[in-house]
Amino acid sequence: MTFLAAFPAAGCSYQLETMFSKSDPEVEQTGSLAEVHRQAPETASAATPSEADLAYARAVAADALARGSKDNSIPWENPHTGASGNITPLAKAYNEGPSTCRDFLASYVRGQAQSWLQGAACRTAQGKWEVKSLRPLKQG
C-alpha cells in the first residue's frame, strides 16, 4: 500500500485508472483515488510556486549550501500544500563583493505540474546562507 501512496508524493503523471478497463464489471472504484480524478485538473498556474512553497525551498537551499556539497540534491516539501522538489547546489562558491555566494537549481512539483527555479544565495556576516534570489529558470 505504501507503493501506491508514493505516486502522488513523487509527482508521477501515471494515472492508476488506466491499469483497469472501465468496462470491467469486476473493478470497483473506492477510496480517494477515484476522487482525485474527479477534481478540477491542474492548471498552468499550479507550476508557479506560492510564497509559502518558496519559503520551504529557500530554507532547504540555505541548509544545502551550508553543508558545502556540490551536485548533491536535497529534497524539500511543503506539507501544507503538497508541493515538493529538490535543491541542487551548482558549481563552486564565488565572491560577490565581500560575500561568498553560490548558485543552485530547484525543482518544483505540485500535483502534475512541474517547473524549475534558479537561485543564488550568499553567506551572511554571521556565517549563515541567505537566499538572495529564487525565480523561474530562464530557458534559451
pLDDT digits (tens, 9 = 90+) for 12-70: 333 333 333 344 444 444 443 333 333 344 444 447 899 999 999 999 999 988 887 66
Give residue 60's domain range.
46-136
Please count the structural domains in the chain.
1
Q: Is residue 20 part of a domain?
A: no
Q: Is residue 61 part of a domain?
A: yes
Q: Is residue 63 part of a domain?
A: yes
Half-sphere exposure of 85 (CA within 13 A, CB side): 30
pLDDT at 80 over 90: yes
- pLDDT reported for residue 71: 59
What pTM was estimated for this model as a whole? 0.63
Classify residue 41 by burial, with Cβ atoms within 10 Å: 0-12, 13-18, 19+. Answer: exposed
- Report the mean per-residue pLDDT for the chain: 74
- pLDDT reported for residue 67: 82
Q: Is residue 56 part of a domain?
A: yes
Q: Is residue 106 part of a domain?
A: yes
Residue 127, sorted as left (phi over 0), alpha (psi -120 to 50) or beta, turns out to be left
Kindly list the distances between the CA atom of residue 25 and the CA atoms of 20, 29, 38, in Å, as whole numbers in the listed order.
Answer: 10, 11, 20
